[in-house]
Amino acid sequence: RAKAAGRNTYRFFTPEMNRDAALRLELETELRHAVERGELYMVYQPQVDLETRQVIGCEALMRWSSRRFGEVPPDRFIPLAEESGLINPIGEWMLNRVFADISALNRTLGRHLAVSINISSRQLREPSFLERFRHYLDEYALAPDGLLIEITESLLVEDDEATMGCLDALVRMGMRLSMDDFGTGYSSLSYLKRFPFSEIKIDRDFVRDISTDPGDAALCLAIIAMAKGLGIQVVGEGVETEAQADFLSEHEADIGQGYLFSRPLRLEDLCGYLGVGVRSEE
């Protein structure tokens, strides 16, 4: 048992731990202190224009380096944070961190890189979310149209008034909306009519076999055609091979994101990737 093993035992997180309720509780207890202990950090994954291969933006992704569990994957701790309500303080920490990083990066670059952040429904339903969002936006003097808010379809399915109201307000503030993991979950095309999405991200499940599986290829083409018809830009997620990038590019997808271009990077490594370090030496 974890307790018997002692307080400072360092263990790697494994999928089997998913089924262990006691461990889940332990994880939540640790997560409760993650912000104050400085265990959370952000990484940024470059997004490239598929035609020019220029970096045009990045997605901010959260990481948790727990003193007890080691690196815990976001697919594990984000749902836990959502269920427990911890996503609100954690999400606030994230906004502050990302906005600070991006305003510093933009200053160094001398241009504005678009940044995408993931926001979950629990955050949008929190009454003080909008006010805090606006506060950080002002504090770091970020242009709202340089920010994309990624939300998942399942969030929209919940369809509650607070969530919808919050999204409307963000759009009025000039924020752009991106529909994440498109094609998974409960795809309802009506959401694309209801909100002015500027971007759709094709889920990596569809991108994986895009150049070999005719079914997946057909689905991607249909998504791209639909998005184009609506004037919405298309991002291919999880691009790992040149064949996938070529397919997306040939069929008019706009942006690619995936290990082919870069893994998610810490801010200083992102600067290196963007060649900022080289330029500042001149």
Binding site for Mg ion (CB under 5 A): 118, 150, 180-181, 237
Cα–Cα distance between 130 and 139 in angstroms, integer?
14
Q: 85 or 277: whose CB is closer to ligand C2E?
A: 85
Q: Which of 27, 34, 78, 113 binds ligand C2E (CB under 6 A)?
A: 78
Do 243 and 249 form a contact (C-beta atoms < 8 A)? no
DSSP letter, residue 209: T
Write the binding mask 155 to 194 for ligand C2E: x where contact by CB under 6 A, - elsewhere.
-------------------------xx-------------
In whole angstroms, how close is the CB of 263 to ligand C2E at the nearest point?
7
Q: Which stretch binds ligand C2E (CB under 6 A): 68-76, 124-132, 192-200, 220-228?
A: 68-76
Q: 81 or 271: whose CB is closer to ligand C2E?
A: 81
Structure-block tokens of residue 27: 């994880």
Q: Establish if 277 lies at the interface with ligand C2E (CB under 6 A).
A: no
Look at the alpha carbons of 173, 178, 184, 190 in this order and tell me if their dihedral is positive or negative.
Answer: positive
Position of tokens 């504005």? 112
The residues in 9-38 that bind ligand C2E, with binding defined as CB under 6 A, are none
In whole angstroms, how close is the CB of 13 to ligand C2E at the nearest point?
12
Cα–Cα distance between 218 and 159 in angstroms, integer?
29
Helix (H) or strand (E) holding 159: none
Cα–Cα distance between 187 and 121 in angstroms, integer?
17
Do 178 and 148 form a contact (C-beta atoms < 8 A)? yes
Q: 68 or 180: whose CB is closer to Mg ion?
A: 180
Q: Which of 47, 88, 120, 163 binds ligand C2E (CB under 6 A)?
A: 120
Return all residues near 95 (Cβ < 8 A) that are at least 6 apart. Answer: 117, 132, 133, 136
Residue 240's binding partner out of ligand C2E, Mg ion, none, with CB under 5 to 8 Å set by partner kind: ligand C2E
Q: Establish if 61 lies at the interface with ligand C2E (CB under 6 A).
A: yes
In whole angstroms, how close is the CB of 119 to Mg ion at the nearest point?
10
Q: Establish if 46 lies at the interface with ligand C2E (CB under 6 A).
A: no
In whole angstroms, how close is the CB of 226 to ligand C2E at the nearest point?
20
Residue 121's binding partner out of ligand C2E, Mg ion, none, with CB under 5 to 8 Å set by partner kind: none
DSSP letter, residue 37: T
Do 171 and 195 form a contact (C-beta atoms < 8 A)? yes
Helix (H) or strand (E) holding 57: strand 55-66
Q: Establish if 45 lies at the interface with ligand C2E (CB under 6 A).
A: yes
Query: Which amino acid makes up residue 15?
Result: P
Return all residues near 124 (Cβ < 8 A) that are at least 6 apart. Answer: 151, 155, 162, 163, 166, 167
| Nearest residue to ligand C2E, scored by beta-carbon proximity | 258
Q: Footprint of ligand C2E on this chain (CB under 6 A)?
A: 45, 61-62, 73-75, 78, 94, 118-120, 150, 180-181, 204, 237-240, 257-259, 264
